[in-house]
Amino acid sequence: MADNGFRWQGGFPKIGIRPTIDGRRKGVRESLEDQTMNMAIGVAKLLSDNLRYPNGAPVEVVIADSCIGGVAESAAAASKFAKEGVGVSITVTPCWCYGTETMDMDPAIPKAVWGFNGTERPGAVYLAAVLSAYAQKGLPAFGIYGEDVQDAGTTDIPEDVKGKLLGFAKAGLAVAYMRGKSYLSMGSVSMGIAGSIVNDAFFQEYLGIRTEYVDMTEFVRRMDEGIYDPAEYEKALAWVKENCKEGPDNNPASIQTSRERKNKDWETVVKMTMIARDLMIGNPRLAELDFGEEAMGHNAIVSGFQGQRQWTDHFPNGDFMEAILNSSFDWNGIRAPFMVATENDSLNGAVMLFGNLLTNTAQIFADVRTYWSPASVERVTGHKLTGAAENGLLHLINSGPATLDGTGEQTKDGKPAMKPFWEITQEEAQKCLDATSWRPASVEYFRGGGYSSDFLTRGGMPMTMSRLNLVKGVGPVLQIAEGYSVELPEHVHDTLDKRTDSTWPTTWFAPILTGEGSFKSVYEVMDNWGANHGSISFGHIGGDLITLASMLRIPVCMHNVPNDRVFRPRAWGLFGTQDQESADYRACDNFGPLYK
């Protein structure tokens, strides 16, 4: 199945640019028309040149037909934006404008205002006035104001303004694209994990996402009744035999499964992978096979598979399915990764989605398994940790569903990386596959068999670990930890890895410490993490996650992002400027979920 056409059938939200202007005619407005519209054109070019949709296409930008000097032109712009599918708005101006007459009043659209820092006209005065109006009306907006004074008529966008425009737009597009999509729960609650209690109110009120549910018996029905593309299945199985090398079986000889059973498991997990994808996004090929209802899918932008234990006590586990879907390539070639949460941990699935929409890259799902102190590592292995790992490590490891992109076998500027699918070469995809061993599942855990992916993430990659938690009486809260992947000497890794299940993929992660609070030490990071799982993104994207969270009214309870990279709506400062964490909680509580 080539999913590029069908998968994105709903299209993507556009960014609307609103050039606002002083409405006074007979001299004032006329003198500003060109400068104001040129600001809009410059911002549109910046965004379309630098941002891409999940399918790799450049972001589309719509500019209002005229400068907006009053209510009538504001309404005309809103009408155009609605017809064009605009989901994010940016207002730009070099001058004074009539605030409440020219502002964007749509409560569901993330909005920002860039007020030009120049001495000839008071763009900064309008910026302050309209932002106060947004706060007064309960419509939080982001304020963008360059640090340095610019000359009148310049078309240059300062670097600090570019950063805020791009950061806001990335987060705004994520908000707009999520709206109206689905979380698909494949199964129910896994082993009492609270995150797999799919909270309908959270997804609906905070993300604008509906929740869809199918029982895991749907996989059995589709396998038994042949509700999958048989031609693709044969292609997939041949690809797996060629590219997915099977590793040693660590099970005691007395409980190892037969070669015949192992071969049968490969057939089953390939079918599971196809079925999960078809459940998420549909498959037009199924309609050709007379399965019209199944061909439609669930419009799912993210999903979760329960697996344990009702499925895995009898059938092969979901590790292969999750690992391949979460990767940027399969038997159909290089393509955008899917977001599939292990153990149906919907809250980890949500932050995987956040990271994916902000970066267009695959996301690593992992247990936040163990804190290894420098003293413990030295005691067990004789090795003294140095460099990024000198203060200790977190062992991120889970039962096989981590994206194969997480091997770090892709490169950027000669360094290990995880890239958007359109930048990945066939050679890099093959290296990720070659670095992965598929280990027969631990039968004591997974009585039904299956295969777990086993790899070791390359060191030196900037990474961001995040997690959403639900707190009764508060709602969702977000945790963020920026850091780096670390490579250990082979004997050190082997010694530490063999103390847990060595058939699973490992990422050694060293969070950046600030010396304060939850980031006083690596131990404090582990001790304050809110759940057993985390989502790991390539790059230091904590600032973008904070911007996105503020749009959704989700407070951030823990992060190590420097203040100069924290960008929230201007109204957040009205809840206090000394303690930004407390102010964030009060602002999110005051304005409430975006869609409630």
Contact in structure between 447 and 314 (CB atoms under 8 Å): yes
Assigned token pair, 319: 């590790």
Assigned token pair, 92: 């730009």
Which of 322, 343, 428, 544 is flagged as catalytic?
Answer: 343
Lookup result for tokens 């847990």: 500
Residue 533 marked ligand-binding? yes
Q: What is the distance of C-alpha 109 from the center of its chain? A: 19
Q: Which of 141, 71, 145, 140 is nearest to 115 (CA)?
A: 145
Task: Give yes or no for a cis peptide into 309 (omega within 30° of 0).
Answer: yes
Strands 393-397 and 506-511: antiparallel
Assigned token pair, 411: 């490169």
Q: Which residues pair with 329 in a beta bridge?
A: 334
CA distance 358 to 479: 16
Sign of CA dihedral 447, 325, 539, 489: positive
Which of 22, 73, 319, 367 is flagged as catalytic?
Answer: 367
CA R_g for the chain: 25
Lookup result for tokens 């990271």: 355
Residue 343 marked ligand-binding? yes
Q: Which residues pair with 368 in a beta bridge?
A: 396
CA distance 522 to 514: 10
Contact in structure between 485 and 458 (CB atoms under 8 Å): yes
Sequence-ordered list of residues with C-beta below 8 angstroms from that of 515, at least 6 positions apart, any chain:
none
CA distance 343 to 445: 13
Q: What is the dihedral of CA 72, 78, 80, 85, to 10 degrees?
A: 180
Residue 378 marked ligand-binding? no
Give yes or no: 343 in active site: yes
Classify residue 518 by its DSSP letter: G
Assigned token pair, 229: 């593309």
What's the Cα-to-Cα distance from 579 to each of 32, 142, 519, 557, rounded to whole Å?
Answer: 40, 19, 16, 12
Within 10 A of 355 (CB to CB), how many other CB atoms are there?
Answer: 27
Walk across the sheet containing 61-63 and list its strands: 61-63, 14-19, 86-93, 111-115, 142-144
Give yes or no: 367 in active site: yes
Assigned token pair, 212: 């869809």
List, in sequence order, the alpha helices (H) in 465-567: 490-497, 522-528, 542-552
Assigned token pair, 574: 């009205």
Name the binding residues for Mn(2+). 343, 367, 533
Name the binding residues. 343, 367, 533
Q: Show which residues are catalytic.
A: 343, 367
